[in-house]
Amino acid sequence: MSVAHKVALVTGAAQGIGRGLSEILLKHGAKVLLTDVNQAAGDKTLAELTAKYDQSRVAFVQCDITKQEQLETAFATAKSQLGGIDIVVNNAGIGDEGDRWENTVDVNLKGTVKATKMAIDNLRKDRGGKGGVIVNMASMAGLNPNPCGPVYCATKAAIIMFSQCWGMNPDVTGNGVRINILAPAFVDTDLVKQQLQKGKDVIRPDIAAMMVERVGIMPVEQVAEALLELVTDESKHNAVLKISASTGKSYQ
């Protein structure tokens, strides 16, 4: 599957991994709707990407993925401004383990569930879609226990199982929709840096630092290349692609 002339919607796209995922799709000819809860960061990223690419190929919508109506607006904008939807990348996520831990469940799990269900409804051919591919952002933390992030790990493990259950559904596979899961280890982002700092929202940053030293930290570009593989290789469906600085890529 070539991404050229396809339309992608990427959540959490204003910075970090989401921006990297968006840019690799743009580099290969896709149109991309950037969505993010952070309006200022989204506007800045939009300006920078439109300076590099045709402005008709990239747009931004502020979107809190926990809000159904904001998700609906984002999907409608992808259709009205960019011409449709072929690729949905559910990347938005946070890692609060403190008093606001429920926000981590709301964004990572509930938000991904909402966005995935909406993506399926928009892509499946029996409901007017053209088919396409959904990639949900999980984590190696959803496969391997991590004492620094029990809530985060639980949400990422749930994303893997949720995605694979939908991937087995004949209403999905029979209507031209593929679902894949990307599970990176530590990536050079603000979220990882947050886990290495002491604070009430972080559990045992000393252990996190030891884990990072052992596993290593990947550049965002390495994760972006893995995304491109899951999108373009049409043999990949219900696949969990694991990736880390120390071991490279492997499938679950």
Residues 96 and 107 sit within 8 Å (Cβ to Cβ):
no
Both structure tokens of 41:
């960061």
The residue-averaged pLDDT of 151-172 equals: 97
Question: What is the model's pLDDT at position 83?
Answer: 96
The mean pLDDT of 156-173, rounded to a whole number, is 97
Cβ proximity of 217 and 224 under 8 Å: no
| Pairing state between β 248-251 and 240-244 | antiparallel
Please state the CATH superfamily assignment of the domain spanning residues 7-183+220-240 in this structure: NAD(P)-binding Rossmann-like Domain (3.40.50.720)
Report residue 88 as tokens: 């949905």
Tell me the C-alpha distance between 219 and 214, whole Å.
Answer: 16
Q: Which candidate in 75, 152, 166, 186 is catalytic?
A: 152
For residue 211, name the pLDDT band (cuts at 50, 70, 90): confident
Q: Position 165: which residue type? A: C
pTM of the model: 0.94
Region 19-24: mean pLDDT is: 98
- Mark whether 152 is an active-site residue: yes
Q: What is the pLDDT of residues 24-81, one digit of tens each?
A: 999 999 999 999 999 999 999 999 999 999 889 999 999 999 999 999 999 999 999 9
Does 177 have pLDDT greater than 80?
A: yes
Spans of all domains in the chain = 7-183+220-240
Q: CA 73: distance to chain centroid?
A: 18
